[in-house]
């Protein structure tokens, strides 16, 4: 049974940083692709960043240069380092896993497993 548990969210001032973590369990070697999505109130969920086993990554345009996704397969954990945070980054952030693709897809339909989310508020 695969579980994803996020941590690290909180309230932060604009311009500051946060690091989100997502621990995956139920895998022996970790999922092929892991990613972060976010959903702001009244908005659709959007892909933020994804990473595959080879450490290839994809970041949505609005976070390029500010957010960095990384993973530690020994710990079955994926991270999202968020720098220079803006009020527009306020959202619930979700960790997700795509076990059946081999590239850093931002396509939501590729992600089968989802965490419960961690709130990030920039104000």
Band (pLDDT 50/70/90 cuts) for residue 31 is confident
Distance between CA 102 and CA 123 in Å, rounded? 37
Of 90, 69, 58, nearest to 22 by C-alpha is 69
Mean pLDDT to the nearest integer, 7-33 = 91
What confidence score (pLDDT) does residue 117 get? 97
- Whether 115 and 96 have beta carbons less than 8 Å apart is answered as yes
What confidence score (pLDDT) does residue 26 get? 86
3-class SS of residue 87: helix
Band (pLDDT 50/70/90 cuts) for residue 29 is low
Mean pLDDT to the nearest integer, 66-94 = 96
Q: What angle do CA 97, 121, 76 make, to 5 degrees?
A: 25
What confidence score (pLDDT) does residue 2 get? 85
Of 18, 16, 20, 17, nearest to 35 by C-alpha is 20
Mean pLDDT to the nearest integer, 16-44 = 91
What confidence score (pLDDT) does residue 27 get? 74
Share the mean pLDDT of the chain. Answer: 94
- Whether 78 and 25 have beta carbons less than 8 Å apart is answered as no
Q: What is the pLDDT of residues 40-71, one digit of tens each?
A: 999 999 999 999 999 999 999 999 999 999 99
Torsion over CA: 120, 44, 59, 96 (sign): positive
Distance between CA 7 and CA 23 in Å, rounded? 9
């Amino acid at each position: 049974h695969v579980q994803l548990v996020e941590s690290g969210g909180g309230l932060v001032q604009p311009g500051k940083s946060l690091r989100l973590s997502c621990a995956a369990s139920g895998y022996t070697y970790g999922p092929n692709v892991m990613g972060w999505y976010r959903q702001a109130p009244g908005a659709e969920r959007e892909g933020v960043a994804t990473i595959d086993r080879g450490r290839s990554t994809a970041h949505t345009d609005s976070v390029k240069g500010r957010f960095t996704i990384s993973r530690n397969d020994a710990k079955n954990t994926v991270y999202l380092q968020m720098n220079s945070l803006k009020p527009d980054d306020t959202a619930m952030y979700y960790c997700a896993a795509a076990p059946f693709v081999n590239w850093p897809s931002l396509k939501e339909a590729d992600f089968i497993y989802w965490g419960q989310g961690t709130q990030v508020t920039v104000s």
